[in-house]
Amino acid sequence: MKTIEHPFTQMKVKSLKLGEIVRVSGTIFTARDALHRYLASDGQLPQDLKDGAIYHCGPTVIRRNAEWIVRAAGPTTSMRQEMYMPKIIEKHKVRMIIGKGGMGKGTQQACARYGCVYLQAVGGAAAVLAEKIKEVVAVHFAREFGVAEALWELVVEDFPAIVSIDARGRSLHSKVETSSKRALNKLLKNPAFRR
């Protein structure tokens, strides 16, 4: 298991191996559909995402006095952002994407071209992952996009994930899909299965 700390430089992310379990520490930013559309259409940000991480997440938060507290922070399905992600990686020099379910060929190619990785977070563990969030630094675009779709700037400590697209563009998801198709074809050719 490897620990990776912000800033997530190209050198750091290139050292991560496909299938490796990592613990992420430092600043990360959440983003969902509305923010990805905004970023891909040349929207401006109050924060620089260079050498940063985008977490596909709409956290559940409460306000206590002047402080935001994250109660749940599970990953959302990343594939919904596939059409935007390559441009965002290129333009904003994002080095790390965290989400669930994997991403497509465009993102794989952008990871290889610009030095970025995709990390698979644990689905169904939103409360456990929220415990890894040590501070809410700021929230941006809550009025424009709503609380769940806002850009949350978070500080995490030992946030667990698995490298499922590496900086060479290799994907665990593609490997699983290929081996699953092979196994299915083998089953379909078996006469006992066709009865």
DSSP string, the chain: -EEEESS--HHHHHTPPTT-EEEEEEEEEE--HHHHHHHHTT---SS--TT-EEE----EEEEETTEEEEEE----BGGGGTTTHHHHHHHH---EEEEBS---HHHHHHHHHHT-EEEEPPTT-HHHHHTTEEEEEEEESHHHH-TTTSEEEEEEEEEEEEEEE-TT--BHHHHHHHHHHHHHHHHHH-TTTT-
**pTM metric for this prediction:** 0.90
Confidence of residue 75 (pLDDT cuts 50, 70, 90): very high
**Predicted confidence (pLDDT) at residue 192 exceeds the cutoff of 80:** no
Average pLDDT value for residue range 79-98: 97
pLDDT of the residue at 97? 98
Instruction: Render pLDDT for 104-153 as a digit per residue (tens, 0 to 9).
Output: 999 999 999 999 999 999 988 999 999 999 999 999 999 999 999 999 99
Question: Which residues are known catalytic residues?
Answer: 36
Report the percent of the chain where pLDDT is more than 70: 90
Q: Which of the residue ranges 38-42, 87-91, 135-139, 184-188 would you say has the lowest mean pLDDT?
A: 184-188
Domains and CATH numbers, the chain: 2-170 (3.20.130.10)
